[in-house]
Amino acid sequence: MENEMTMAELLEGYEKSFKVPRKRSIMSGEVVQVTDTEVVVNLGYKADGIIPKYEISNDSNYDIKNNINEGDVLDVYVVDLDDGEGNVLLSLKRVSMLKDWDVLQDLYAEEKTITVKTTRVVKGGIIAFFNDIRGFIPASQLLPRYVEDLNKFVGKDLEVKILEVNKRKRRLVFSHKAIVKVALNKEKIKLWDNIEVGQIVDGVVRKILNFGAFIDVGGVDGLVHISEISWGKLQNPKKLLAVGSTIKVKVLSFNKEEEKISLSIKQTQPNPWEIFEEKYTIGEVYEGEVVNLTEFGAFVKLEDGLEGLVHISEISSERIEKPSDELHIGQKINVKIIDSDLENQKIKLSLKELE
C-alpha cells in the first residue's frame, strides 16, 4: 500500500527525531540516574549522556547525591560524543566555568574584590580557584613584604583583586597584596592620627637584625634598637624575640613625613634599679647567675638588668689566685647583698659570708 512506510523510512524518521549533540555545545537534559561517581542524563538522543564526578566539581569531597536528583533538568556541556563506552561525555562544571569567565570579565572591568580558594604551592606562587576556574597568585602578589613560606596561605579563603583575565587563553591572575595595601593605608591613617610619644601599644615582630628589631605597630614598622629590648645586656635579639609574635612597645619618637618610629620594649617594664629596694634587702641571700669573670672578681646577675660584683676577696675565706679557680660563667650560686649604691647602679655581693 502507498501509505505503508518501509522499515528504512521508519528508521530514518526515528533518527531525525533525535537531538544530535555537537561537541563543545551546551544543551539541556533530564537526570535519569544518580550514583556516587556519575550522573546519567537523557539528552533525547539515541545514547545517554554521562557526567563523571570529575566533570561535576573540582572539589574531591563533593557529594553528588546530596546535590543532584533524578528528574532534575540540567544544562550540560558536550565534551565528546563517545566516552569509549558508547555514551556522550558531558560536563556540568564547564557550563559554570563558561558563565564564570563572563562574570570575571565584568568584575575585572568594575575593579571589584572577589574571594578565591587557595589549593597548592607551585613554582612562583599559589594556585587559587574562583568556583571551578583555576587562577594563579604570584608570590610577589601575596603580601607587600617578602613571604618566605607560601604554604601558610594554602587552604585559605583569600580576598583578591583580578590582575588579568583572558577567557580565550584561560589565563587568570589574582593579587592579595592589593587588598592588604588598602587595609594598611587605612591602618596608617589611623596610626598617624593617634600616635603619641610615651604611648604603649601592641606590635607584631616583623624582622630581627643584629642591631635590633622592626615592629609593626599598625601599618608602619618601627625600630627597637638592641639597647631598648632588655634592661639587661643582650648580644642577640633573637634570644628574646620571635618573628610573628605580638609584644607591647613604648613610642619614644616618630617622624610622620619619613614614616619612622623609634620604639622601646624594656620601657614597658619597670627599671629593676628603680624598684631594687622593693625587692631586695641588704644582708639577705638571693640566687644569681655568674655572667662575667675578671681578675678582681665575678659579676653575678640577680635578674635582667641587675648585676652585682663579688670581689675576689669576697669569694672565699681562703686566699685564691683568680675568680675562675672557684667559679665559672653560667653557674647558679647563692650570694649575700652586703651593700648597694643605687645612684651609680652598683651592688656589692659576697660568697664568703655564706660559709
**Structural domain includes residue 189:** no
Based on the fold, state whether residues 247 and 200 are members of the same structural domain.
Answer: yes
Q: Taking a C-beta distance cutoff of 8 angstroms, is the pair 247, 241 a contact?
A: yes
**Structural domain includes residue 3:** no
Q: Taking a C-beta distance cutoff of 8 angstroms, is the pair 174, 118 a contact?
A: no
Tracing cell 563517545 back to the chain, one arrives at 82
Domain boundary among 91, 107, 136: 91
Report how far residue 276's alpha carbon sits from residue 297's, in angstroms, rounded to the nearest whole number. 22
Based on the fold, state whether residues 114 and 174 are members of the same structural domain.
Answer: yes
Main-chain dihedrals φ then ψ at residue 286, nearest 5 degrees: -135, 155
Question: What is the chain's pLDDT, residue by residue, as a tens digit (355 residues)?
Answer: 444 556 555 555 545 545 677 887 888 889 999 998 899 999 888 788 899 998 888 777 888 989 999 999 988 889 888 877 888 899 988 888 888 898 999 999 999 999 999 999 999 999 999 988 899 999 999 988 888 899 999 999 999 999 999 988 889 999 999 998 888 888 888 889 889 999 999 999 999 999 999 999 988 899 999 999 998 888 889 989 999 999 999 999 999 888 899 999 999 998 998 888 888 999 999 999 999 999 999 999 999 889 999 999 998 888 888 898 889 999 999 999 999 988 888 999 999 888 7
**Structural domain includes residue 15:** no
Report how far residue 301's alpha carbon sits from residue 292's, in angstroms, rounded to the nearest whole number. 9
Q: Taking a C-beta distance cutoff of 8 angstroms, is the pair 143, 108 a contact?
A: no
Domain boundary among 149, 179, 209: 179
**Structural domain includes residue 260:** yes
Based on the fold, state whether residues 85 and 103 are members of the same structural domain.
Answer: no
Cell of 166: 583572558
Beta bridge partners of 88: 49
- Residue 336 sits in a domain whose CATH number is 2.40.50.140
Report how far residue 286's alpha carbon sits from residue 280's, in angstroms, rounded to the nearest whole number. 8
**Structural domain includes residue 2:** no
Cβ-proximal residues to 238 (8 Å cutoff; 6+ apart), any chain:
208
Cell of 89: 561525555
Give the per-residue pLDDT at 45: 82
Integer-rounded Cα radius of gyration of the chain: 37
**Structural domain includes residue 13:** no
178 CA to centre of own chain: 16
Based on the fold, state whether residues 343 and 280 are members of the same structural domain.
Answer: yes
Based on the fold, state whether residues 85 and 102 are members of the same structural domain.
Answer: no
50 CA to centre of own chain: 41
Based on the fold, state whether residues 103 and 58 are members of the same structural domain.
Answer: no
Length of the chain, in residues: 355
What's the total number of domains in the chain?
4
Report how far residue 127's alpha carbon sits from residue 124's, in angstroms, rounded to the nearest whole number. 10
Residue pLDDT, tens place only, 297-322: 999 999 988 999 999 999 888 888 88
**Structural domain includes residue 185:** no
Cβ-proximal residues to 252 (8 Å cutoff; 6+ apart), any chain:
197, 228, 262, 263, 264, 267
Report how far residue 66's alpha carbon sits from residue 34's, in angstroms, rounded to the nearest whole number. 10
Whole-prediction pTM: 0.54
Reading phi first (left if > 0) and then psi (alpha if -120 to 50, else beta), residue 305 is in: left
Q: Taking a C-beta distance cutoff of 8 angstroms, is the pair 349, 336 a contact?
A: yes
Report how far residue 293's alpha carbon sits from residue 326's, in angstroms, rounded to the nearest whole number. 11
Report how far residue 211's alpha carbon sits from residue 320's, in angstroms, rounded to the nearest whole number. 39
Based on the fold, state whether residues 202 and 147 are members of the same structural domain.
Answer: no
**Structural domain includes residue 30:** yes
Neighbouring CB atoms inside 10 A of 336's CB total: 18
Based on the fold, state whether residues 87 and 101 are members of the same structural domain.
Answer: no
Based on the fold, state whether residues 245 and 289 are members of the same structural domain.
Answer: no
Q: Taking a C-beta distance cutoff of 8 angstroms, is the pair 73, 48 a contact?
A: no
Give the β-pairing of 88-91 and 49-52.
Answer: parallel
Cβ-proximal residues to 318 (8 Å cutoff; 6+ apart), any chain:
none
Reading phi first (left if > 0) and then psi (alpha if -120 to 50, else beta), residue 218 is in: left
Domain that holds residue 330: 276-354
Give the per-residue pLDDT at 14: 47
Domain boundary among 250, 268, 286: 268
Q: Is 96 helix (H, G, I), strand (E, B) or coil?
A: helix
Report how far residue 14's alpha carbon sits from residue 29's, in angstroms, rounded to the nearest whole number. 19
